[in-house]
Structure 1
Amino acid sequence: MLPSTFILSCLLSSVSAALTDSSLEKHVNSLKLSASFNPIKESYWTGLPHHRRTPFAVSPDGKSAYVAYLDASESGVHVQQVDPTTFAAVGTAATISGGKEAGGLVAHNDGFALFTNEALPSGTSSAPAGNTPVPVIYRYTSGKQTWKTFVGGPSVKANMGLLASPDLNGDLAYSETAGLYGAYFVVTAYSGSAQGHFGDAIQYVNKDGTLQTIAGASSTWGCSHNTGIAFEAADSAPFASICAEDQGAIWLNTKTQSMNGVKISNENVQNGASNEPMGGMGGSYSGLARFQGSGSYIFAWVSRGAKDLTTNDWLGAPFTHSVNRTNNRRVAIAQFSDKNTLVGPEATSTLGPDGDSQINWITEGSADSSNAHVATFDKSNALVTWEEIAQPTCEFIAMGCKGAFTGSYFQLVNEGKKVGAPVKAMDVYVAGDMVTMKDGRICWPYVDMAWKLDGPVRGSSVTQLSFACMNLDGTTSTPTTPASSSSSSANASPIAVSSSTRVQEVDISTALPVQDEPTPSPQAPAQQSSAVRDSSLPTFQI
């Protein structure tokens, strides 16, 4: 082969073909669970349905995978080894009996590490009242518990008070190079000056289970209120981290561990809410992904856009407030050349009409997008996924929308640009971590069910999990159900997505002042002027 021809061939080989329906494989009900599982988690404030996370991880050698799920009783987390090809159970599940949330999972060649929250043992000095759970990391080796380390409670000294986590809404990451586990999670202080308030914390534990206090990496009170977390391993601490907060922005806060740093996006917010950019309650996973064999990253989130920036009346300049550009949320991505550096301009802090001109939008139009996640195939190709409601009703300024579910979408992105059209599925959802397998597929768990987004729903228990995979080369590896067919429990027919791609901007400002300070019990987000009033929605606290 001539040198010039070889070079051209190499260049062409780096350009991926678009995904097709045949790129998606499904393993429907491949995993029989040893205990029942409720696949629906109610969202904060609105009660609208979210997928209850099922953390998923594959070992470095690719020979074993693990999935974790919360028992339907909401007390006890089960971790089941699965075959990475058939996704059937291998052996018996390990059960962490006191766990309240399956908050993160790391697979090793000899076992796994689980991030959960549980009450401290009876009689523990300085424990939170009422058996409020505290975050903890478990390490299992060859089916047996090796160590257990609390990363909250009296084990962690915090300047603003001792910390508990009634809702983790966070993630666990591991760096083999650094020999460190990192956990990023939501906290509430149960003592000290911040008692009753909500923030977030980042803690590190070495591979022997010893809690590490690392200057410039560990933190005990960062973004407040935290409304979304994205976290990914790096070769050294600090790990790559992103937070959403209810003062007006999303931050790459790897260096700061706080609500400043590199501003990724301006967001219109309310106290305790910021449009559920990373999935809302239980959704803070597979939002930030590291490209394979690289030090670069990609982040996916949903946003209503931002315009009409004014000074944040609580924090002051250069912090800002903004107005929603649209009533619906669209999918956006950002890329980072390393864990500290955004590719392209930051979100502006200049007062005026512009607030989002820097955003790289993946979707347009009036459909509402939610449940955005991302994973990487290799050094340049990523899979971005989301769910849509073609004709949404968006009753609350900074929360989710409701309406008929009109599909899950899977978009290939290369070097920050869309490749072809997204693959659409009506019977596949992302309900757990998206993992790059040893053979290059990206796989994730979900529950085979009729998914509805048109109002508050309480899920019934299931005893089976399904898995889906996306193949970059467009071929499947013997799926148990063809990607083009629908399972019997899925919606019978898809609902067409609106062909309009025009973004409809909000004409009337819906921005309301954020509370002057964080409050123990967030106030109800104000309703849009066009909203259908609904006073029956349940209330939740973050």
Structure 2
Amino acid sequence: MLRLSFTALLPCILTSVFAQGLTESSLEKHVDSLALDFSFGPVKEAYWTGYPHHRRTPFAVSPDGSAAYLAYLDASETDVHVQQVDPKTFAAVGSAVTVAGGKEAAGLVAHSDGFALLTNEALPSGTSNVPADGTPVPVLYRYTDGQQSWKTYLGGPGVHEDFGLVASPDLNGDLVFSEEAGLYGAYFVVTAYTGSAAGHFGDSIQYVAKDGSLQDITGASSSWGCSHNTGIAFEAADAAPFASICAEDQGAIWLNTQTQTMNGVKISNENTTNGGSGEPMGGMSGSYSGLARLTGTDSYVFAWVSRGAKDLTVNDWLGDGFTHSINRTNGRNVAIAQLTNKSTLDGEEATSQVGAADGDSQVNWITEGTADNSNAHVAAFNSESVLVTWEEIAEPQCDFVAMGCRGAFTGAYYQLVTNGKKVGEPVRAMDTFVAGDMVTMSDGRICWPYVAMDWDLSQAVPYGGSKATTTKMSFACMNLGGSASQVQQTSSNPTTSAAPSPEEATGGAPSTTAVPRTADAPETSSAVDPTNVEATTSATPPTSTLLTSVRTESEAPSTATTPVESAGSPEVDEPTTSSAARTVTSVPDSTETAAPVETPTSQTRPHPPCGGRRRRGARRSSAPEPPR
């Protein structure tokens, strides 16, 4: 009898997988597998538009695969909880560790003996030189065997004081760790509260040693990099600087590993209007799993969403190498870029030629068509193949030229990409989303956390924030071998489907029916020739209605969100210097009406001289924000 070993069959199995791509049987779901010790609010409103985004739940697995951890923000929006998770069953291991006072769960690294957490918190009472109104500053915690080992502030007093002190009211960013370098790396959005940049937004890259000591590494650390950073992608390397990418408020996405500023290698031209660029890396709670290092190599893959770029014009303020562009399409499509190493693109750089009709000819598109695609992420299966994911609105209403879109959610998509090329068709799911870090497990699967809910992208989050909460977390995994266990696991005592009352969810406004589990929509968006888009329609978002129907419990957070200030236009920041800058780090408010070739419409709203981010729960308004 002829006997074939599994090793002998493996090349045949992989060849078959690469030929057909992923299938529905590749997607494994563990619904409500993790019981949370505290309530969690899974929905976060987007900056300016208020459209719904998944509130990030950082997820990490130790290098040896023995320990996994999930971090989540308490429903009260104060205190971050970190729960150890069984990496096989995704059930809780012991009780959660609470990091009191944390305002966001912004990044997580798992070790065999504990974890490191990036969060932000108000400085202790009595501290000198603190930001006003208790604005939180970024901080890195290390816990070992359930106990705090050290705590290191990454902003506030004593950190880059020669530049100016910074805080992080919205800690959009990520945390990574390199055992080879012996360093944690954190990349996050900051606002300065002293110095020449006071009142404006940029970003910062900080490194911390294993013992908790903050490192100031020339050519790697940065106190102020990309102006009003609209997206961050960050991944560990064997030595500092780590691989970094930023989307800024002047018209480009930069591979800025070597510069840490809004220059370097231009990955993409993007239309920016009043500081927005279409949320290329996810917007609020979005900057995670956007850059993946291929297993066992020095190569990376970057994923983002874009409306494309055409008709490049000169950026008068920033000069040579900096341009403005017009959107090519109304909705956003998914794109990827290959990196041969942490500083080098595999392929052409985006053009900076003024007058170029095509500003996106170098882009490797994963989707093409009239749909709007958002929430793009990427993770590596191995040294050649990655999983690229996104969410689709097949018939979008794009009210803002440089923000997100709204419409009926028509599916989350999971696409296999090998050596930069799509393999097979994407897997579509209506009940499974990416709402936390995508992690390559020790057995080769890619897994991530999400909350089982009916996801509705058709309306803005109700005024005051979403009231939906849950005490259950689900996990999903994609298996490259196409043989994922279809256990569709659920908790032994699953809770029932529930939703906020109409009064709770809308503040008295009538609610609408939540998006069903299935939708009469095509599996993929139809491919059409891109249309020329210079502006979109009404700038006024719809009346807020019921956002989600969480399939667990739904209750009001213990602390209500109180509006602090009226909404203003997306802000653009003034120039300052950076410790790592080669040319320019940010731009003046005089250039805030970006994309000058556009015909002024209600889209291009006036911008205040010193704009600030809209606080959680602040009411959106069509009127410009007054100077502060």
Partner of 1:494: 519
| 2:221 aligned with 1:213 | no
- Pick the aligned partner of 2:139 from 133, 136, 150: 136
How many angstroms apart in 1 are the aligned matches of 2:415 and 2:368?
13
- Pick the aligned partner of 1:503 from 529, 535, 540: 529
- Pick the aligned partner of 1:463 from 459, 463, 471: 471
The runs of 5 or more residues in structure 2 that have no matched partner are 1-6, 498-514, 537-568, 575-586, 606-618
| 2:36 aligned with 1:33 | yes
1:508 to partner: Cα distance? 4.2
How many angstroms apart in 2 are the aligned matches of 1:28 and 1:248?
41
1:149 alignment partner, SS class: strand
Note closer, same or farther for the CA distance 1:178–1:308 as it changes in structure 2 (3 Å cut).
same
Contact 1:160 1:189 in 2 (8 A): no
1:154 alignment partner, SS class: coil
Partner of 2:458: 454
Q: List per-residue Cα deviations over 1:460-500 (Å, max 9, x = no partner).
A: 11111000000000011353349xxxx98583322313753
How many angstroms apart in 1 are the aligned matches of 2:381 and 2:190?
33
- Pick the aligned partner of 1:281 from 279, 284, 289: 284
1:443 to partner: Cα distance? 0.2
Partner of 1:70: 73
1:125 to partner: Cα distance? 1.7
Q: List per-residue Cα deviations over 1:410-437 (Å, max 9, x = no partner).
A: 0000000000000000000000000000
Aligned-partner residue type, residue 448 of structure 1: A
2:133 alignment partner, SS class: helix
Deviates most, 350-359 or 488-497:
488-497
How many angstroms apart in 2 are the aligned matches of 1:393 and 1:235?
44
Aligned-partner residue type, residue 368 of structure 2: E
Contact 2:274 2:593 in 1 (8 A): yes
1:537 to partner: Cα distance? 3.9
Aligned pairs for 1:237-316 within 5 A: 237-316=240-319
How many angstroms apart in 1 are the aligned matches of 2:249 and 2:286?
17
How many angstroms apart in 2 are the aligned matches of 1:230 and 1:373?
10
1:506 to partner: Cα distance? 2.0
1:527 to partner: Cα distance? 10
How many angstroms apart in 2 are the aligned matches of 1:459 and 1:85?
32
Partner of 2:480: 472
Partner of 1:3: none
1:418 alignment partner, SS class: strand
2:414 alignment partner, SS class: strand
1:313 to partner: Cα distance? 2.1
- Pick the aligned partner of 2:91 from 88, 92, 107: 88
Contact 1:397 1:527 in 2 (8 A): no
Partner of 2:391: 387
How many angstroms apart in 1 are the aligned matches of 2:571 and 2:55?
29
| 2:452 aligned with 1:426 | no
| 2:415 aligned with 1:417 | no
Contact 2:275 2:570 in 1 (8 A): no
Note closer, same or farther for the CA distance 1:214–1:508 as it changes in structure 2 (3 Å cut).
closer
2:320 alignment partner, SS class: coil
1:396 to partner: Cα distance? 0.5
How many angstroms apart in 2 are the aligned matches of 1:100 and 1:514?
22
Deviates most, 495-504 or 249-258:
495-504
Note closer, same or farther for the CA distance 1:303–1:528 as it changes in structure 2 (3 Å cut).
farther
How many angstroms apart in 1 are the aligned matches of 2:175 and 2:599?
35
1:61 to partner: Cα distance? 1.1
Note closer, same or farther for the CA distance 1:513–1:54 as it changes in structure 2 (3 Å cut).
closer
- Pick the aligned partner of 2:342 from 339, 342, 360: 339
Aligned-partner residue type, residue 503 of structure 1: D
How many angstroms apart in 2 are the aligned matches of 1:7 and 1:328?
46
How many angstroms apart in 2 are the aligned matches of 1:358 and 1:505?
18
Aligned residues: 528
Contact 2:327 2:534 in 1 (8 A): no
Contact 1:247 1:514 in 2 (8 A): no
1:115 to partner: Cα distance? 0.2
Note closer, same or farther for the CA distance 1:91–1:312 as it changes in structure 2 (3 Å cut).
same
1:354 to partner: Cα distance? 1.3
Partner of 2:448: 444
How many angstroms apart in 2 are the aligned matches of 1:90 and 1:514?
43
Aligned-partner residue type, residue 403 of structure 1: G
TM-score by length of 1: 0.92
1:316 to partner: Cα distance? 1.6
How many angstroms apart in 1 are the aligned matches of 2:9 and 2:42?
48
Q: List per-residue Cα deviations over 1:485-529 (Å, max 9, x = no partner).
A: xx985833223137530133125467x999684559x89999996
Contact 1:46 1:538 in 2 (8 A): no
Contact 1:326 1:503 in 2 (8 A): no
Deviates most, 128-137 or 151-160:
151-160
How many angstroms apart in 1 are the aligned matches of 2:361 and 2:183?
38
Contact 2:435 2:449 in 1 (8 A): yes
1:277 to partner: Cα distance? 0.2
1:64 to partner: Cα distance? 1.2
Aligned-partner residue type, residue 409 of structure 2: F
Partner of 1:197: 200
Q: List per-residue Cα deviations over 1:374-433 (Å, max 9, x = no partner).
A: 000000010000000000000101000000000000000000000000000000000000
How many angstroms apart in 1 are the aligned matches of 2:526 and 2:468?
36
Greater strand percent: which structure?
Answer: 1
Partner of 2:151: 148
Aligned pairs for 1:113-192 within 5 A: 113-192=116-195
Note closer, same or farther for the CA distance 1:166–1:190 as it changes in structure 2 (3 Å cut).
same
Aligned-partner residue type, residue 144 of structure 1: Q
2:453 alignment partner, SS class: coil
Note closer, same or farther for the CA distance 1:307–1:43 as it changes in structure 2 (3 Å cut).
same
How many angstroms apart in 1 are the aligned matches of 2:470 and 2:312?
46
The runs of 5 or more residues in structure 1 that have no matched partner are 1-5
Aligned pairs for 1:509-524 within 5 A: 517-518=587-588
2:482 alignment partner, SS class: coil
Aligned-partner residue type, residue 506 of structure 1: N
